[in-house]
């Protein structure tokens, strides 16, 4: 009797799906989704709706952050048995702030072919319409939920010279914009992309302070958001960068004046030097 493991291994397809407009699904993605043996979806209900809209039926299995450890071995077994599998996220390109990289890494280590079926991405879509430099950029995904951890992460980015891209939920957008303005300086250029590729898509540009003041007034607090922030114009010395990092952490729990004084004591820089750094971030 011939074992199924004698068959060549199948292929893992990483398939990009629309972030809003269903017309953005590529012809190649349609073909792959209609041909594979199994589709691993972050939310099977959402993916089933997408498939229904293009007249496809398929076998789906849930694959998300909460069951990745359990489901990955099952998917690998199916691939090793010669079946083809497509991995999709709720929207956009899988693995970009979505689960899947562990599955891809293990598949590659087992000699399984992994093929990209490119598609929409909120990251590239926002960069293309924000009016900020795009020759070099860094994707930061979602900032930490806790205020102190968020301040620590932003502190590490104070001297980042590349354009920065953040995802943010509607419930935390106001707090995040306020903290970005405080940490990077209100004059820093930025953009907010709302509901990309959807009927109510809008892109708002201006300084962080300006955008912060427009939230909930001109900028509706509804939908999905991508925040793009210009990189720093001034390159700080290691000592200055450390002082800014320490200051950003202390600011989460202390008034600015006390944070400046304590930052100077911790880093050894003169208080006036720390004060100037924190007042002119760029």
Indicate whether 138 and 191 sit together in one domain: yes
- The span from the CA of 157 to the CA of 230, in Å, is 11
- E strand residue ranges, the chain: 11-15, 38-41, 60-62, 85-88, 113-117, 137-142, 163-168, 189-194, 202-207, 225-229
Averaged pLDDT of the chain: 91
Answer with the one of 85, 104, 120 that is the final residue of a domain. 120
Indicate whether 42 and 134 sit together in one domain: no
pTM: 0.82
- Measured at the CA of 161, the angle between CA 243 and CA 260, to 5 degrees, comes to 20
Indicate whether 17 and 113 sit together in one domain: yes
Quick: pLDDT tens for 76-102: 999 999 999 999 999 999 999 999 999
Could you tell me the CATH number of the domain that includes residue 55? 3.40.1010.10
- Residue 90, judged by CB atoms within 10 A of its CB (0-12, 13-18, 19+), counts as middle
Mean per-residue pLDDT for 212-228? 96
Q: What range does the domain containing 85 cover?
A: 4-120
Indicate whether 200 and 250 sit together in one domain: no
Indicate whether 100 and 197 sit together in one domain: no
Mean per-residue pLDDT for 262-277? 86
Show the DSSP H helices in 4-100 as ranges. 27-35, 44-53, 68-80
Answer with the one of 95, 120, 145 that is the final residue of a domain. 120
Answer with the one of 76, 104, 120 that is the final residue of a domain. 120
Give the residue from 258, 241, 237, 259 showing the smallest Cα distance to 249: 259
Give the residue from 261, 237, 241 showing the smallest Cα distance to 251: 261
Do 183 and 281 touch, CB atoms closer than 8 A? yes
Of the CA atoms within 13 Å of residue 109, those in its CB half-sphere come to 7
Quick: pLDDT tens for 119-159: 999 999 999 999 999 999 999 999 998 888 888 899 889 88
Number of domains in the chain: 3
Quick: pLDDT tens for 8-57: 899 999 999 999 999 999 999 999 999 999 999 999 999 999 999 999 99
């Amino acid at each position: 009797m011939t074992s199924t493991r004698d068959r060549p291994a199948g292929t893992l397809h990483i398939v990009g799906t629309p972030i809003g407009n269903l017309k953005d699904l590529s012809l190649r993605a349609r073909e792959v989704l209609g041909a594979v043996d199994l589709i691993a979806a972050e939310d099977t209900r959402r993916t089933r709706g997408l498939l229904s809209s293009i007249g496809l039926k398929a076998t789906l299995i849930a694959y998300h952050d909460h069951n990745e450890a359990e489901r990955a071995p099952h998917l690998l077994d199916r691939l090793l048995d010669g079946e083809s599998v497509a991995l999709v996220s709720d929207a956009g390109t899988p693995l970009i702030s979505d689960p899947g990289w562990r599955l891809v890494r293990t598949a590659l280590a087992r000699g399984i072919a992994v093929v990209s079926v490119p598609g929409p991405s909120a990251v590239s879509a926002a960069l293309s319409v924000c009016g900020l430099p795009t020759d070099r950029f860094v994707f930061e995904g979602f900032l930490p939920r806790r205020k102190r951890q968020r301040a620590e992460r932003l502190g590490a980015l104070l001297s980042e010279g590349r354009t920065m891209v953040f995802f943010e939920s509607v419930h935390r957008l106001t707090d995040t914009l306020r903290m970005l303005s405080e940490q990077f300086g209100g004059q820093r250029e930025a953009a907010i992309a709302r509901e990309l590729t959807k009927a109510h898509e809008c892109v708002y540009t201006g300084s962080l302070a300006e955008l912060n003041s427009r939230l909930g007034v001109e900028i509706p607090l509804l939908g999905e958001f991508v925040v793009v922030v210009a990189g720093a114009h001034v390159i700080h010395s290691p000592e200055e960068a450390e002082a800014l990092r320490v200051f950003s952490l202390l600011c989460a729990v202390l008034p600015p004046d006390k944070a400046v004084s304590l930052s100077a004591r911790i880093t050894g820089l003169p208080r006036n030097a720390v004060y100037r750094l924190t007042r002119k971030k760029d």
